[in-house]
Amino acid sequence: MRNLDGQLIIVFGGGGFVGRYVVQKLLARGARVRIAEREPRKALFLKPLGGLGQTQFVAADVRDAASVARAVQGSDAVVNLVGSFDDMQAVHIEGAGNVAKAVASAGIGVLVHLSAIGADGESASMYGRSKGAGDTLVRLHFPAAAILRPSIVFGREDKFINRFAAMIRMLPVIPVIAPKAKFQPVYVGDVADAVVGALDAAPGALFELGGPQVLTMGELQRWIADATGRSRLFVDVPDAVAGALASGLGWAPGAPITKDQWLMLQRDTIVAAGAAGFGDLGITPNSLASVADGWLVQYRRHGRFAELAAR
C-alpha cells in the first residue's frame, strides 16, 4: 500500500455521509487531509480525529471551477465524493468535470471519483444519466482516474435504511414500492476502505462495490422489521399505481417517491458479472446483519433495553 504518512489528500465532500468515513481512514494512515466543502464549518466535527495540523478545511464548490482549482493546489491526491439528488446536472456532470480538469491542470497524479452502480449516459433516470455523463467527463479530462461505483450505501447516518426503519416503527401496514427491485447493500466503512485502497489502483481502474447479500426491496424491508423486532403487514404496491404516484405527486415535498427515484428502481442496483470489486482491493465486505445492530437498536421498542423488557 502507498505510504500516506504526510501526504496531502484533498477530499471534496469530506464532511458528508461517506466523506466522514474516508477522512477517518486517511487520518488513521497518517495522511494530511484537506476537506473541501461549500460550508467548511459543517465539517469541523472531524478536526479532533486528526493530530495537530493534520486536518485542513477549505471552502470550495465543485460547481465553481475557480474554487476547485484553488482547493487542489499542492496536494498529492484528490478524492471526489460529492453527490446530490437536487442539482444533478451541475454537481454530477459539471462538478465532476471541474474536479478532473483541476487535477490534470495542477499536475496531480491521483484522482479517485465516487460514482454509483447504474451510472449510464442512456439511463432513464436523471440520476443515472448524470452519474454516467460525469464519469465520461472524468475520463476525458483525467483518464487515469479510479472510479468507484457502489450499490446502496448503508451506515449509521444513512438516509435509506434509517428511513425504512423509521417508517416501520411508526406504521402497522407498510406499502412496498418496487418490491422486486434488487439491491446489494454495501457498508459505508467498506466503501471508505475502497476509496483509500483505490489511491493505489492501476490507472483508469473501475470498481463496482456491493455487499455480500443481494436483497429485493421487499426482502430488505422485512429484514429491517425483523432486526428491529417489529411485526408488520407488508403490502406490495402494483407498479402501475406506484408509477402513477411518482409521476403525479413525486414533485411535492415529502412525497414517498419521486419520478426519478421510480425510474431508478426499474434497474437492479447490483454488481455486474465479472466486474472488478472489493476482492480486487483486498477487502471483504460486511453484511447488514454484522454491523447494523449497532444503530438499528434505536428503532426497537425499549431500545437497548428490549431484551431486559422481554424477560
301 has pLDDT over 70: yes
Largest Cα separation within the chain, whole Å, is 65
Reported as a single tens digit per residue, the pLDDT across 266-290 is: 999 999 999 999 999 999 999 999 9
Q: pTM above 0.75?
A: yes
30 has pLDDT over 60: yes
pLDDT of residue 234: 97
DSSP assignment of 178-236 equals: STT-EE--EEHHHHHHHHHHGGGSPTT-EEEE--S--EEHHHHHHHHHHHTT---EEEE
Q: Which class is 8-144 in CATH?
A: alpha beta
pLDDT of residue 250: 77
Question: What 8-state DSSP symbol labels residue 77?
Answer: E
pLDDT of residue 253: 73
Reported as a single tens digit per residue, the pLDDT across 200-240 is: 999 999 999 999 999 999 999 999 999 999 999 999 999 99
Q: Which secondary-structure segment (H or E) carries 68? A: helix 65-72
Q: Which secondary-structure segment (H or E) carries 153? A: strand 153-154
pLDDT of residue 311: 47
**Whether the Cβ atoms of residue 88 and residue 225 lie closer than 8 Å to each other:** no
**Separation of alpha carbons 163 and 184, rounded Å:** 17
* Half-sphere exposure of residue 214: CA atoms within 13 angstroms, side-chain side: 8
Reported as a single tens digit per residue, the pLDDT across 56-103 is: 999 999 999 999 999 999 999 999 999 998 899 999 999 999 999 999
**Whether the Cβ atoms of residue 232 and residue 174 lie closer than 8 Å to each other:** yes
**Whether the Cβ atoms of residue 164 and residue 220 lie closer than 8 Å to each other:** yes
**Whether the Cβ atoms of residue 213 and residue 270 lie closer than 8 Å to each other:** no
Domain ranges for the chain: 8-144
**Whether the Cβ atoms of residue 111 and residue 141 lie closer than 8 Å to each other:** no
**Separation of alpha carbons 197 and 281, rounded Å:** 6
**Whether the Cβ atoms of residue 10 and residue 77 lie closer than 8 Å to each other:** yes
